[in-house]
A and B are shown apart, each in its own frame.
Chain A
Amino acid sequence: DADVTQTPRNRITKTGKRIMLECSQTKGHDRMYWYRQDPGLGLQLIYYSFDVKDINKGEISDGYSVSRQAQAKFSLSLESAIPNQTALYFCATSDTSGQGLETQYFGPGTRLLVL
């Protein structure tokens, strides 16, 4: 879905390096999310943001940090990458109705390999 973009799409890095994954959206959604996907584990929530001033830890936030620079941008950083952070990373956005209903829209993913 071109409304949610992620850069880079693929990245190879070395242990100990700092890297940033970026997510941008043109949907005008307030809520943004970062997930990682590992085979057999499904998607695990790393961080989420319900608006620019609201950042929340997800299930597996250790080793990660995020920045919500604007409504449309939500970046994920690995301060010191380690091999078990090798995974597929997805950004998502969601809309809400007054009842708090959500449908999430996903970006194309960033495949990260940490050597």
Chain B
Amino acid sequence: AQSVSQHNHHVILSEAASLELGCNYSYGGTVNLFWYVQYPGQHLQLLLKYFSGDPLVKGIKGFEAEFIKSKFSFNLRKPSVQWSDTAEYFCAVNALGRALTFGSGTRLQVQP
């Protein structure tokens, strides 16, 4: 079975600080990897995704993620966060033909 771990449950940063949110998955085969964001009171939106090719993936709003196959990781990064990045972030994974499995989420709070 596939599973996803997000080790940071709640992160508090000041504006302009750099961000890295960890995501590890367990599945031995080929996987697709996603980061979703949920702004307060809103539904989930796709931030970025990795299917194949360049392991460094760039998404919307200046976010990027790096797939490191040997570490089963897909960490999310942003060089300089803004107050508007306050949200909950979910890592998700699926293997071919399977439904998505989500991590438990990381709540990011950016202080002005």
Contact = CB atoms under 8 A, between A and B. Distances in A.
A12 interface: no
B100 A45 contact: yes
A90 B49 CA distance: 20
Chain B interface: which size bin?
20 to 34
Interface string A54-79: 00101000000000000000000000
Contacts, number: 56
A100 B44 contact: no
Interface string B94-112: 1011011111110000000
A42 B100 contact: no
A101 to B, nearest CB: 5
B104 A108 contact: no
Most chain A Cβ neighbours within 10 Å, of B9, B43, B90, B96: B43
Interface in B1-49: 6, 9, 32, 34, 36, 42-46, 49
B96 A99 contact: yes
Q: Say what secondary structure dominates the interface of chain A.
A: strand
B104 A42 contact: yes
Contacts of A41: 104
Interface of B: 6, 9, 32, 34, 36, 42-46, 49, 51, 90, 92, 94, 96-97, 99-105
Please give me the 10 A-B residue pairs with the lowest Cβ-Cβ distance, nearest first: A42-B104, A43-B102, A106-B44, A100-B96, A106-B43, A42-B105, A42-B102, A108-B43, A48-B99, A101-B51
